[in-house]
């Protein structure tokens, strides 16, 4: 992981994560220039580079400032943008009040240099509104925590996401921010930018195996697929829960729901690195789909009590990780299903033996 490659100045946050394999290279480019976003590029071979035209990137028209060298090595490119945070509350009689949204492209962000950990492969984008007349962020902050992985495994803290070396984790954290109503719910707008010929699908899968995330049975994935090959190219994957504690436990769970895919209200991505790579055009050059992820329900007021909200997701390349039944769950199912079957079999044998013994006491009639 490298911060601001080729830039010697300050007040800029571009974090380049590079994973080189024997036949390809995966590039993750995180930035808070505009709205927080990650640029995903997969290239053939292990020698691709990421040259950045810094004067152009920091200008009002950053198109063309980020590219991959050599361009012919690019196999896939896409981006995830975290654009806005909405707040709504119940007004009675089934009505809802929507407050002015927090536009993340207008936030001021702390320097990544203070949170970047090269050994743990972690970093944190933390910030607040540039203008906060209501003082809702006076004692709070909004942050995106990034974690890269060198191998496959499972996170220890809930929701215990299963990850691969082809994925990274992003954790959205709202801490200490004052809600504008007693029944407020927050929604995070997430947008996916894809190149030409790529389709996006929101998938939901359910499993009875909740060993690692108790009571949570739903996994959601925003998948980008090639229209020609119908093969997954990238994904954003999360479980249907958020948490109201820095050290989450089962009782700290907050309901998490996803709206349908839609076209966003904006036409240009509010992120400089996305515009720097994909250009300013849109239409035929790239497509954008957005969805809102909501936290909390009508009867849930965990955030109002604790002033803390965390939601974790995986972002990566290829097929999203799939949970399989663990040996513990398989053993429990085998005992739960096998014991009644064994009792039924033994009972049938005992009945047959009893019947044979009863009739064998009598002599046959001649």
Tokens of 186: 């927050």
- Residue 307's region, left for phi above 0, alpha for psi from -120 to 50, else beta, is left
Alpha-carbon span 288 to 252, nearest angstrom: 34
Yes or no: say if 12 and 122 are a contact pair by the CB < 8 Å rule.
no
pLDDT at 360 over 70: no
Asked whether the CA dihedral 49, 54, 57, 61 is positive or negative, the reply is negative
Q: Give the residue from 259, 176, 174, 254 showing the smallest Cα distance to 215.
A: 254
**What's the pLDDT tens digit per position in 287-343?**
899 999 999 866 667 788 889 999 999 999 999 988 765 666 667 666 777 778 778
pLDDT at 159 over 70: yes
DSSP for 139-183, please give it: T-EEEEEEEE-SS-EE-SSTT--EE-TTEEEEEEEEESPPPSSTT
pLDDT at 351 over 90: no
* Total-model pTM: 0.87
Alpha-carbon span 231 to 236, nearest angstrom: 15
**What's the pLDDT tens digit per position in 80-121?**
999 999 999 887 767 888 999 999 999 999 999 999 999 999
Percentage of residues of the chain with pLDDT beyond 90 = 60
Q: How far is CA 321 from CA 130, 190, 232, 259, 283, in A?
A: 38, 20, 12, 22, 31
Yes or no: say if 320 and 237 are a contact pair by the CB < 8 Å rule.
yes
pLDDT at 207: 78
pLDDT at 300: 66
When the pLDDT of each residue in the chain is averaged and rounded to a whole number, the result is 88
């Amino acid at each position: 992981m490298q911060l601001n490659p080729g830039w010697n100045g300050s007040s800029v946050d571009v974090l380049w994560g590079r994973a080189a394999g024997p036949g390809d290279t995966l590039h993750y480019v995180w930035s808070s220039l505009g709205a927080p976003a990650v640029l995903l590029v997969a290239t053939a071979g292990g020698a691709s580079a990421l040259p950045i035209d810094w004067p152009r990137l920091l200008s009002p028209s950053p198109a063309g400032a980020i590219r991959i060298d050599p361009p012919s090595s690019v196999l896939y490119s896409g981006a995830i943008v975290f654009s806005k945070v909405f707040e709504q509350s119940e007004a009675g009689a089934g009505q809802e009040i929507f407050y002015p949204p927090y536009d993340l492209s207008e936030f001021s962000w702390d320097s990544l240099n203070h949170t970047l950990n090269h050994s743990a492969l972690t970093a944190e984008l933390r910030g607040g509104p540039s203008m906060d007349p209501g003082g809702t962020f006076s004692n709070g902050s909004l942050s995106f925590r990034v974690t890269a992985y060198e191998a496959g495994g499972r996170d220890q803290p809930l929701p215990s996401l299963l990850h691969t070396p082809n994925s990274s984790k992003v954790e959205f954290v709202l801490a200490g921010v004052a809600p504008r109503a007693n029944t407020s719910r927050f929604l995070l707008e997430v947008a996916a930018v894809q190149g030409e010929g790529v389709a996006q699908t929101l998938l939901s899968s359910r499993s009875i195996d909740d060993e690692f995330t108790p009571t949570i049975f739903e996994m959601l994935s925003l998948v980008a697929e090639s229209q020609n090959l119908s093969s997954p190219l990238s994904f954003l994957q999360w479980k249907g829960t958020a948490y109201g504690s820095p050290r989450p436990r089962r009782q700290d769970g907050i309901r998490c729901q996803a709206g349908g895919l839609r076209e966003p209200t904006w036409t240009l991505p509010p992120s400089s690195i996305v515009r720097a790579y994909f250009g300013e055009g849109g239409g035929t050059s790239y497509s954008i789909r957005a969805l809102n992820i909501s936290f909390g329900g009508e009867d849930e007021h965990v955030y109002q009590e604790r002033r803390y909200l965390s939601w974790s997701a995986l972002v990566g390349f290829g097929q999203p990780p799939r949970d399989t039944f663990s040996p513990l769950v398989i053993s429990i199912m085998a005992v739960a299903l096998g014991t009644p079957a064994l009792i039924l079999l033994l009972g049938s044998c005992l009945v047959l033996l009893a019947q044979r013994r009863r009739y064998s006491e009598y002599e046959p009639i001649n």
